[in-house]
Homo-oligomer: A and B are copies of this chain.
Amino acid sequence: MKSGLSFLIAAKRCEIAELQALALTSALVNVTGRLVHGLQRERGLSNLYLGSNGALFAPERLAQIGECETSEAHLRACLESLDTESVIVGNGARLFSRIAYVLHGLDALPGLRAQVAQQRWTARKTTEAYVRLITGLLAVVFEAADSATDPEISRLLVARFNFMQGKEFAGQERAVGSALYASGHAEASEQQRLLHLIESQERCLRMFTEFSSAGLGALWAQSQPSSTQAELERMRRVLCTAANGAILDASQSTTWFACCSQRIDRMKWLEDQLAHDLLRECETKIAAAQNDLQAFTALSTSASGEEDALSFFKESPLPDHAVSLTNDGVAATPTPPLQGYGPHLERSILELVQAQARRLQSMGDELDSVRASLNDRKLVERAKGLLMAHRQLSEEEAHKAMRQMAMNQSRRLVEVAEAVLAVADVLPERRH
């Protein structure tokens, strides 16, 4: 007959399986990140190419397409090896449906490239097409972050997702700026867009700093050479403050592209560090869980069942009528590590069960708080999408409107988003 200990072992096995699925998803995210990086560069080069009416960057663009094709092949191979027959722990349905979307986008990519080669699409339309595809790829990363059940890993995944999203805003900034410089004149609406991209980028990087380890945060702070940063800020100023229609130095487009690329390449380097940290964290946790599992298994063959039959009802000094459900009546206290429990029974199995319950409980609580940031993001994005669709606003306008409301009412952005969603039913029908 199955004992309490056998379910303790089963619980540990679940934990290990989840961690392993996470390590697998992490590998997928790495390959996705590489393709995103390549497509961001291809987008920038396409903008330079289109902005100069095909005069500049034709060979660089073709070389970059070649690189992207390699990354795409890697991603497809990785997806090929994903065991879609078996079920991925957590939100497999959502992850797979994001992947399905991305594959459609990749299938359409050669068509997009042909439009660019023949200069049949505008820089703006081309940028939007790349943005759509990259957004789809980042949605895969988002689902991976949303599936973690370990709070520390979830924290790193949230940091990573925000960093990648921030990098994408930096990439869009590079593309928009490249097209502006290459076109030779300033355009107010594109300048607004640039400002919005810079602000969004900074918001994501703040989230990254909040959720990443202190070491990585410091690494990021040091990784940007101040000379590149100063040059970038100077060019941003020139771009954003030029009067509508004013002449821009088209030759600066190359400098702008190089300067932004330097920054973005550093970001990719840091992203790889993050990926490395994440994998190491997974491995450490898997090793620890496997250690526990071994200890439990050893116990199950040696446990003598000599425990006091009534210990279950006696255990810890509970206050009056402790019926607190979620923590078995025991206030959360730090759980000592389980390592070191060999067959020599130092604590009773019941104590192990309680320690495990407390551990899962406090992990769950921490996870809730990390997840909250993802939920906030979802709410803000949905509210923004709603305003865009119903009020025919651009993304910047929708964001600005919500921020204004938040400021006027001294509320957090997410509270405004909740309010917007709450009144969704009374918003006018969207135009088709």
Contact = CB atoms under 8 A, between A and B. Distances in A.
Interface of A: 1-15, 17-18, 76, 79-80, 84-85, 87-105, 107-108, 110-112, 115, 128-129, 131-133, 135-136, 138-139, 142, 149, 165, 193, 309-313, 317, 319-332, 349-350, 353-354, 356-357, 360, 364-365, 368, 375, 377-378, 381-382, 384-386, 388-390, 392-396, 430-432
Contact of A8 (B11, B97, B129, B353): B97
A8 to B, nearest CB: 4
Nearest to A315: B132
A381 B325 contact: yes
A394 B94 contact: no
A13 B104 contact: no
**Interface SS of chain A:** helix
A14 B322 CA distance: 39
A394 B318 CA distance: 10
Nearest to A350: B104
A326 B381 contact: yes
24 contacts: A1-B80, A4-B104, A7-B84, A11-B97, A12-B93, A13-B87, A97-B353, A97-B357, A108-B311, A111-B310, A112-B313, A131-B323, A132-B312, A132-B313, A139-B326, A142-B326, A193-B321, A319-B394, A321-B396, A324-B382, A324-B395, A326-B378, A327-B381, A331-B388
B139 A325 contact: yes
A4 B385 contact: no
B386 A331 contact: yes
Contacts of A313: 108, 111-112, 128-129, 132-133
A317 B392 CA distance: 11
Contacts of A5: 100
Nearest to A20: B87
B100 A385 contact: no
A132 B330 CA distance: 12
A94 B94 CA distance: 22
A305 to B, nearest CB: 9
A328 B138 contact: no
B128 A92 contact: no
A133 B328 CA distance: 10
Contacts of A165: 325
A368 to B, nearest CB: 6
Given A13-B84, A324-B395, A327-B382, A97 B3 contact: no
Nearest to A132: B313
B328 A14 contact: no
A96 to B, nearest CB: 4
User: Which of A7, A98, A311 is the most central at the interface, judged by chain B CB atoms within 10 Å of its CB?
Assistant: A7
B138 A325 contact: yes
Contact of A385 (B95, B99, B327): B327
